[in-house]
Structure 1
Amino acid sequence: MSSILTNTSAMVALQTLKGVNTNLEKTQSEISTGKSVATAKDNSAVWAISKVMESDVKGFKGISESLSLGESTVAVARNAAETTTDLLTEIKGKIVAAQEENVDRNKIQTDIDALRDQITSVVGAAQFNGLNLVQGTDDVNILSSLDRAPNGTVTATDITVNRQDLTTTAGTYGTGASLASNITAGAAAIDSTGAANSVELTYANTSGSDALNLTINGSAITVAFDTDAATMIDNAEGQINALGLTGITASSDGSGVLTLTNTNSFEEFNVGYDPGGTDTIALNNNGTADSAGAATGSGSTTLTYRAEEVALSTSAKVNEGDSYRISVNGNDYDYIAGKGETMEDVARGLKTAVDAGDETGVTTQVAGNATDGFKVLVDYDGSDATAGASMSLADNGQAGGVASGGLFGLDNIDVTTDTGADAGLDNVETLIQNSIDAAAGFGSAQGRIETQSNFIDSLVDSLKAGIGTLVDANMEESSAKLQALQVQQQLATQSLSIANQAPQSILSLFR
């Protein structure tokens, strides 16, 4: 049946043409934009994912810039620390030269002062965009990543760069909680009289024939039996003094008591004894009787140095701002700990502080280890002083101070005297190590930042590739599809034209 009101063939042809045109329009859009998903209506789920990933790419590009800025800042600090290390090494060379007595120490001191001023200049200038990592103690955080959790939560991740204070500031003593229990001075006074550094051996000869054997730091003597204990001890006195041990003196009281005295500032000696047979030795070390009483067998003890000990805790944690003090004759010498420091750092800082003081005849040394604890040994040679036979020694500690600089004590190196030259040689080693540690810390941080920067660049490329996989059009496929759709469009147009001409045949029925 034919109808002039309803042309079914034309309707079918029109729908076909509309479908072809829709596909052709989409294909042309893919070719012109290069994307298969250009808007949310193309594929809402894929479009949403791609937009999240694009925002991450934008963020990571900002992170890359942050890392570049941070790497440059750390590089400046590393160069400053390395330069400081080189300058401190030159200072060490000057101090070594000053150990000789027949040199012009005043001229050497002038050179040291110039090198010190150069270090101050380097530390002050080591800033990038106003940020100086070799001054102060506050850590610096460099944005390094954006971590997206499965639930969509984004967390910023930082690389923390520890500041390495290479200034010479003395710090500010704290006013907080007491830390007095972490530091203990060994005696109320330090002196040069030999007190508290002697060992008494009281010998009792009961067998009537045994020899007495003694060793001092490996130097052995044998005292043959002779009449009685007193005579044997007198003989022992002569043999020990004949050894020529520096600072060691033996004396006998004529009744069988041998006293060994050590006048060395920091050197201690091991004393071994073997009374032989049934003979006995009663030991009194530094004014304290041996708790074991009389010894019938061999034994040993330590003849300590003349210096007094200021012992630091083996268990207490050191926090930034912890302030420790050694007082000599009422003069306070402080060291305030910085971030990440240990009791060894505190001990070396206190040594440096005392060395920088004006105490005539006072010398110091750091002894000990992490297991047994660190000590500051303070010695006083009364022959060089005018204050009398002894000097008072005290200690204290409080939290809440402002940390001393990593090169604390550099300003006070003075090689114009024997004592100053000796102290400077020891203290400059600590300063060099602090500077080396600072340079190593910055080098490690710079390496990590560089690695993260390379990773971020690679990650951005991977994200871009992933986004392209999701939304980019396959141009080869789109091109081929365009050709096919253009042919389909022509055919559909022709089909619609034919369908529209079909009702014309009805006119022939009315002729």
Structure 2
Amino acid sequence: MSSILTNTSAMVALQTLRGINSKLSMTQNEISTGKQISNAMDSASIWAISKVMESDVKGFKGISETLSLGQSTVAVARNASETVTDLLTEIKGKIVSAQEENVDRDKIQTDIDALRGQISSVVSAAQFNGLNLVQGTEDVNILSSLDRGSDGGVTAANITVTRQDLSTTAGVYGTGSTLAGNVTAADGANALNSAAGNQFSSAGNTMVIQMAGTAVAGEQYNLQIAGITVSHTSVTGSLTAADTAAALTAAINAAGIEDIVATVSTADITITSTSKFDEVEVNASTTGTQTFDLYNGGADATGALAVASATIAARASTVEFSDTAGTANTAGVSEGDGYRVTIGSANYDYIAGKGETFEDVAKGLKLVIDAAALEDISTNVIQDDTTGNWFLQVDNDDATDIAFAVTGAADGEATGGLNGIDSIDVTSNDGADAALANIETLIQNSIDAAASFGSDQGRIDTQSEFVSKMMDSLKTGIGALVDADMEEASARLQALQVQQQLAIQSLSIANQAPQSILSLFR
């Protein structure tokens, strides 16, 4: 049935043409935009995924800029630390030169002062965008990544850069919980418990050698003191123990052993050592019939057990640091832990920084005490080979007793890593000796700082490179999801254009069908 009102063929042809035009429009849009999915209507799920990934790319771009800023900041701090190390090494060379007495120490001190001023200038100027990593103790966080979880949540990740304080600040002694249980003072081998309070002076430590028996002619009696052997040979028989003791005492004093003096009382030889920091080992041997009994600590026959060898403790009073000696801080040293040595009426404090140990505390206190240039006071730091505990030795070379005490408290503000450098003075023998020991600690502090910054900078460089690759990977993934395949789109465009032409022709033919009905009325 033919109808002039309803042209079914034209309707079909028109629908076909519309479909082809729609596809042609989509293909042309792909070609013009380069995207297969350019909006949520094209594919809601893929479009959503691509937009999340695009936001991550934008975030990582910001992270890359942050890492670049952090990299530059840490690089400045590292260069400053390395420069300080070089300057401290130059100071060490000057200090070594000052060990010779036949030099102009005043001129050497002038050079040291100039180098010291340069160090202060470097530390003060080592900032980037207002951030100085070689002053203060607070850590600095550098944004390094955005971590997206499976639930879609995003968390920020940071690279923590630890500040390395190369300032000369003294710090602030805390008022927190006591750390007295971690530190013990002792006078040589004996605890400081005098009735007048803890005291120390130049008095030496002693031991008693008690002789007994009768010597026979030709017998040899030997004492080895601090590695030096003194001997007495009996020339006649029936010599008493007192005779042999007197002869050995004279031989000891004639040997000129440094810091050693011997006295005799009947058959007892008392050996007094004024060695500041070194123990003195004493051994006895004989081919004769008389006997040696060595009583450690100066005790007599009614006191300590007699032995064939003994050690005289160093004269210096000691400060022992241990996190197991008491219950104050069994975790070791924490940032802000302060330890105080009192000499006379003055306090000398060192407050630990982040990551420091009792070795740092002992060496820090040595720097602080030496910086005060106290007359007749000298210091040394040692470690016990058996326990591993660190000791600060403090010696008083004056005959007058001086008050001596130690304690500790938490929650202070850390002492600067170069504290004590301002007090280096090589114009005297004692000052030059102290400076030589202390400059090593300062150099090690600056080396540790440079090494820490170098490690942080390397980590930032690695993360920066990773973020760059991550952004490339994300962009590639986004492209795989939404970018158009231009070869396929081009071929499809050619086909759709042909289909469009055919559809137009079909529609034209369908529209001509009603014209044939007119022939029925002619």
TM more than 0.5: yes
One-letter code of the match for 1:339? K
**Structure 2 counterpart of 1:364:** 379
Kept in 1, the 8 Å contact 2:207–2:297? The answer is: yes
**Structure 1 counterpart of 2:4:** 4
Kept in 1, the 8 Å contact 2:295–2:306? The answer is: no
Deviates more, 1:30-39 or 1:328-337: 328-337
Kept in 2, the 8 Å contact 1:362–1:379? The answer is: yes
Deviates more, 1:173-182 or 1:197-206: 197-206
Kept in 2, the 8 Å contact 1:314–1:374? The answer is: no
Distance 1:112 1:489, change over 3 A: same
**Structure 1 counterpart of 2:401:** 390
Q: Partners of 1:409 and 1:362 in 2: how far apart?
A: 16
Q: Partners of 2:361 and 2:283 in 1: how far apart?
A: 34
Distance 1:372 1:289, change over 3 A: farther
Kept in 1, the 8 Å contact 2:348–2:365? The answer is: yes
Q: Partners of 2:432 and 2:465 in 1: how far apart?
A: 49
- Do structure 1's residue 245 and structure 2's residue 257 form an aligned pair? yes
Q: Partners of 2:23 and 2:292 in 1: how far apart?
A: 112
Equivalent position to 1:286, from 279, 294, 297: 297
> What secondary structure is seen at the aligned counterpart in 1 of 2:134?
coil
Structure 1 residue 269: Cα displacement: 2.3
Kept in 2, the 8 Å contact 1:280–1:294? The answer is: no
Normalised by the length of structure 2, the TM-score is 0.89
1:293-332 pair list within 5 angstroms: 293-295=305-307, 299-315=308-324, 316=329, 317-332=332-347
1:81-136 residue CA offsets vs partner (Å, 9 max, x unmatched): 11111111111111112112222222222221121111111111111111111111
**Structure 2 counterpart of 1:180:** 180
Q: Partners of 1:39 and 1:115 in 2: how far apart?
A: 66
1:190-211 residue CA offsets vs partner (Å, 9 max, x unmatched): 22231xx222233444999997
Normalised by the length of structure 1, the TM-score is 0.91
Structure 1 residue 289: Cα displacement: 7.4
**Structure 2 counterpart of 1:192:** 202
**Structure 2 counterpart of 1:468:** 479
Kept in 2, the 8 Å contact 1:73–1:128? The answer is: yes
Equivalent position to 2:513, from 473, 490, 502: 502
Kept in 1, the 8 Å contact 2:230–2:255? The answer is: no
Q: Partners of 1:467 and 1:211 in 2: how far apart?
A: 96
1:124-163 pair list within 5 angstroms: 124-163=124-163
Q: Partners of 1:218 and 1:61 in 2: how far apart?
A: 70
Distance 1:507 1:271, change over 3 A: same
Q: Partners of 2:54 and 2:89 in 1: how far apart?
A: 52
- Do structure 1's residue 352 and structure 2's residue 367 form an aligned pair? yes
Equivalent position to 1:373, from 389, 405, 411: 389
**Structure 1 counterpart of 2:195:** none
Distance 1:484 1:166, change over 3 A: same
> What secondary structure is seen at the aligned counterpart in 2 of 1:286?
helix
Kept in 1, the 8 Å contact 2:295–2:304? The answer is: no
CA RMSD of aligned residues (A): 2.5
Residue segments in structure 1 that go unaligned for 5+ positions in a row: 383-387
Q: Partners of 2:135 and 2:384 in 1: how far apart?
A: 29
One-letter code of the match for 1:189? Q
Structure 1 residue 479: Cα displacement: 0.4
Q: Partners of 1:208 and 1:10 in 2: how far apart?
A: 147
Deviates more, 1:98-107 or 1:444-453: 98-107
Q: Partners of 1:99 and 1:170 in 2: how far apart?
A: 28
- Do structure 1's residue 404 and structure 2's residue 415 form an aligned pair? yes
Kept in 2, the 8 Å contact 1:53–1:467? The answer is: yes
One-letter code of the match for 1:55? S
Kept in 1, the 8 Å contact 2:424–2:431? The answer is: yes
Structure 1 residue 292: Cα displacement: 7.3
Kept in 1, the 8 Å contact 2:167–2:416? The answer is: yes
Equivalent position to 1:414, from 419, 425, 445: 425
**Structure 2 counterpart of 1:385:** none
Deviates more, 1:105-114 or 1:202-211: 202-211
Distance 1:275 1:42, change over 3 A: farther
Kept in 2, the 8 Å contact 1:336–1:404? The answer is: yes
One-letter code of the match for 1:103? V
1:423-434 pair list within 5 angstroms: 423-434=434-445
Kept in 2, the 8 Å contact 1:319–1:337? The answer is: yes
Q: Partners of 2:166 and 2:5 in 1: how far apart?
A: 98
**Structure 2 counterpart of 1:439:** 450
Kept in 1, the 8 Å contact 2:136–2:163? The answer is: yes
1:448-485 residue CA offsets vs partner (Å, 9 max, x unmatched): 11111111111111111110011000001100100000
Deviates more, 1:336-345 or 1:482-491: 336-345
1:43-84 residue CA offsets vs partner (Å, 9 max, x unmatched): 111101000000000000000110111111111111111111
